Amino acid sequence: MILDWLRSFRQRQPVTAAELRRHLDGLRRQQTETITRRDAVALDAIRDAVGATRWTALDDTARHLARRIDVLAAALPQAEAKEAEAREQAEATARAERMQDYQRQTVEAKQWADTVLARVTTGEELTQARALRDALRDEARWLSRWSHDVAVRRPFDPLDAIYAALAMRVQRIERSRWIHGESPITLIDDTRAAS
């Protein structure tokens, strides 16, 4: 009889600890009720054969329920251990996948940064800016004898303009380190970004 009951647990899906706990609780309630009913007919069992038969049947049922409870109580820690192991394995797999995703994002970010840094002013461009500045200063110096124009008194300095633009970007980078969120980092000359 207990073998038939055990066969009822054989399924394609493994029995979960929650199912075992639910069955255990049900069996324990059933056992308590059976023992209560058995004890209630104990006096009748001493007096007559019908009462004794009824007490024996209830006692057999209580023992049968106790054997079932013993089997489920022994199986429960094993089921909990298997579920804990499966949960730990799933968490480890999720962590590994997240780490791989992070590494992929890091590679993509480095490639993107390399592309941006490739567009940063080169040494040749800075040398050319210096040469332009020197040429404009020399010409402005010569023109300043006859002109009081602001552009002559303060000639445009391409090197200074590049420095100011880069300094502003550095300041924006420094400020953005303390600000988290979705708001864009705007630059004065970046007309595409929202201010």
pLDDT over 80 (residue 49):
yes
pLDDT interval class at 6 (50, 70, 90):
low
Alpha-carbon gap, residue 28 to 163, rounded angstroms: 82
Average pLDDT, the chain: 84
> What stretch of H or E contains 174?
helix 158-176
Alpha-carbon gap, residue 154 to 104, rounded angstroms: 50
Tens of pLDDT, residues 71-120: 999 999 999 999 999 999 999 999 999 999 988 998 888 888 788 777 88
Of the residues 106, 133, 168, the one at which a domain ends: 106
pLDDT over 60 (residue 194):
no
Name residue, tokens 């199912």: 19
pLDDT interval class at 188 (50, 70, 90):
low
Alpha-carbon gap, residue 59 to 34, rounded angstroms: 8
111 is a domain residue: no
Of the residues 106, 141, 169, the one at which a domain ends: 106
Tens of pLDDT, residues 114-161: 887 778 888 888 899 999 999 998 888 888 888 888 888 888 898 898
Say whether both 82 and 126 belong to one domain: no
Is the Cβ–Cβ distance between 176 and 193 less than 8 Å?
Answer: no
Report CA-CA distances (Å) from 155 to 71, 92, 125, 147. Answer: 95, 64, 19, 12
Is the Cβ–Cβ distance between 144 and 153 less than 8 Å?
Answer: yes
pLDDT of residue 191: 44
Amino acid at 103: Q
Of the residues 106, 131, 150, the one at which a domain ends: 106
Alpha-carbon gap, residue 61 to 57, rounded angstroms: 6
25 is a domain residue: yes
